[in-house]
Structure 1
C-alpha cells in the first residue's frame, strides 16, 4: 500500500504505520513531501493509494476531479503552527523585530503550496509584517523550513508543532485565531477503491489507539 503524506505528518504516520502493520500484516510504503507536490503527481497518475494532505482543499479538488473513491474524504487531524528556534525562546516580539532589523530572516513553507506556510503568512500579516517579505526564506514544506532554522541559516522558522514538541530548541505557539484553522484531510484514491489494505488503514486511523498516537504528536483529532 502506497501512502502519500504531507511532510508535517511524517513522524506520526511512521508510528501509525508500524502499529497497523503489526496488527494487520500489511506493509505501507510511505512517501513524504509537500501536499502541493503530491497533488500534482496524483493528477498526473502517480500510483498512490492514500493521500494524507496538510489541508482540505487538495483532497476536495481531487474528489471534484473524480480521482477519489466516493465517500472516503475525512479530516484526520487539526494542525498547530509553531515558531521554533535552536537558540532562544521566540515570541511575537521576536517576529516584530523583523521590522527593526532588515538583516534578520524567518523561514516558512511557501504559502502558495503549503498550508502551514499560509498560516505563517497570516500570522506575519496579523502582526503588520507583510512589508518584511524580503526577509522571508521560503521552503518547499515545513520540513525544509525546519531545516533552515536548524542549520542556523535563519534564527527562527515556522514549523508544525508536531515537529518540535518533543525535541530540542525552543518554540512559541501563535494564537490560533491569528490564522485559518489547519484541517488536514485524507482521501482514498479511486485506483485503490478495492484495496483492502488501504481501506483497512483508513478505518484504523479512526480507532482510539490511532487517535491517541495522533494526539501524542501534537495534533487535535476531530470528533468521529
Structure 2
C-alpha cells in the first residue's frame, strides 16, 4: 500500500512538473497562414512541449478582436501595418515585431486550363464571378484591388466580384465553383513549388505592394516565455523551411543564410 501511494505521488509530481513547463499559446493568425502555422505547430510542440491554440481570420477583424480584449498572446498578421498599429496603441511590444514571410498572390481557378499563365483571362472578362477577400480587412484583397487598378479594369470587374470575409472563404468560393476564379494566397494552391489543382497565374511581384507579413508579441503576454519561444521559433530554420515550402518569400537574412 505504501509503495502504491509513493507511485501515485511520483506520477502526480511528474504531471504537475510537465504542466508547469508545457503551455498553450493563444495565437491570432491571418487566414492565409493557417495551414503553414498548423505544420509549424507540430514542430514547435516537438521542440518545446508547448501547444498552440490557433484562431484564424482576416487581419483587420483579428485587430478588432484584440482591440476589444480577446485573450491572444501572439499576432501573426498578413501585413506589417496592423502589428505596427498595435505597437503604437501600446497593445503590442515594439521590439518583438518582425517579418516572418512575404506573401504572394495568385489568380486561381479550380478548373484546369481556365487561367492562363499571363492572367489574360482577367482582361477578356469571360466569366460571371471573380472572388477576392474583403479589401477593407484583408491585405490580399487590398492587393487584388490594386491589380485591377493597374490593369485599368476596376469598373468592368467590380460588378462581377464576390467578396470573401477572409482569404479562406475566398478560396472556398473558387474551389466549390461559386466563382469561376479568384485571387487567393499562393500558399493555398501551391506546395513544394507545384500547383495542387486547377490552373493559376502567379501575379508578378511588381504588380502589387509587397505583402510583408509580420508577427508581434501582444503586451498582455509580455512575460510569457512560451509566447516568446514561439516567435523565436518562427525565425528559425525549421519554421522557415515550412514557410518557404508553401510558396512564401523569406526575409532576406534567412534566405541569405540558407544559400
Which TM-score band applies after superposition, normalised by the shorter structure?
A: over 0.9
Distance in 1 of aligned mates of 2:76 and 2:45 = 18
Once the two structures are superposed, the pairs formed by residues 1-224 of structure 1 within 5 Å of their partners are 1-89=25-113, 90-91=115-116, 92-98=119-125, 101=126, 104-131=128-155, 132-166=157-191, 167-224=196-253
* Distance apart, 1:105 and its partner CA: 1.6
Q: Which has the higher helix share?
A: 2
Moved more, 121-130 or 10-19: 121-130
Displacement, 1:223? 2.7
Separation (CA, whole Å) in 2 of partners of 1:66 and 1:128: 40
Q: How far did 1:32 drift? A: 0.8
Query: What is the CA distance between 1:69 and its match in structure 2?
Result: 2.1
Deviation at 1:5, TM superposition (A): 0.4
Q: Which runs of structure 1 show a deviation greater than 3 angstroms over 4 or more consecutive aligned residues?
A: none
Q: Deviations over 1:145-185 (max 9, x none)?
A: 11111111111010000000132211111111111110001
Secondary structure of residue in 2 paired with 1:96:
helix
| Cα deviation digits, residues 172-224 of structure 1 (max 9, x gap) | 11111111110001010001011011001111111111111110111111034
- TM normalised by structure 2 equals 0.83
5+ residue gaps, structure 2 = 1-24, 254-259
Contact 2:96–2:216 (8 Å) recurs in 1: yes
Contact 2:146/2:208, CA 8 A, preserved across alignment = yes
Cα distance in structure 2, aligned partners of 1:193 and 1:69: 7
Equivalenced residues, count: 221
Tell me the alpha carbon deviations over residues 18-73 of structure 1, each in whole angstroms, 9 at most, x when there is no partner.
10001111111111111111100000111000000101111000000000123001
Q: Distance in 2 between matches of 1:203 and 1:86?
A: 36
Is the 1:69–1:192 contact (alpha carbons within 8 Å) kept by the matching residues of 2? Answer: no
Structure 1 distance, partners of 2:234, 2:134, is 28
Write the distance in 1 (CA, Å) between the matches of 2:128 and 2:123.
11
Please tell me the root mean square deviation across aligned C-alpha atoms, in Å: 1.1
